[in-house]
Amino acid sequence: MGARKAAEAALDAFIETYGIKHEKAVECLTKDRDTVFAFYDFPAEHWQHLLTTNPIESRFATVRRRKAILGVKFRDGIEVVRSQAQAAAA
């Protein structure tokens, strides 16, 4: 299954699971469904370079970029802290 199909399936599962309890959130996501998935209209190799228009996320984009330049690693969006022994072995 491709990334877009997986994302669409995840949204469908969200709608099914939370549609009744969180009607407004589901409505927001489904009314702009094409916009939500526009990310997948770009080549996968460009995804890491796409910037958000979210003002909060945009503020931290330069911080994330600096950490990437310094070689800081993240797993699931969380910084991976290595011990000095692991860093020396790498």
Q: pTM of the predicted model, to two decimals?
A: 0.51
Whole-number average pLDDT of the chain: 74
Q: What is the pLDDT of residue 12?
A: 93
Per-residue pLDDT tens digits for 37-75: 887 887 777 777 666 666 656 566 666 556 655 666 766
Cβ atoms 26, 15 nearer than 8 A: yes
pLDDT exceeds 70 at position 84: no
Give mean pLDDT, residues 18-32: 89
Please state the rounded mean pLDDT for residues 21-26: 90
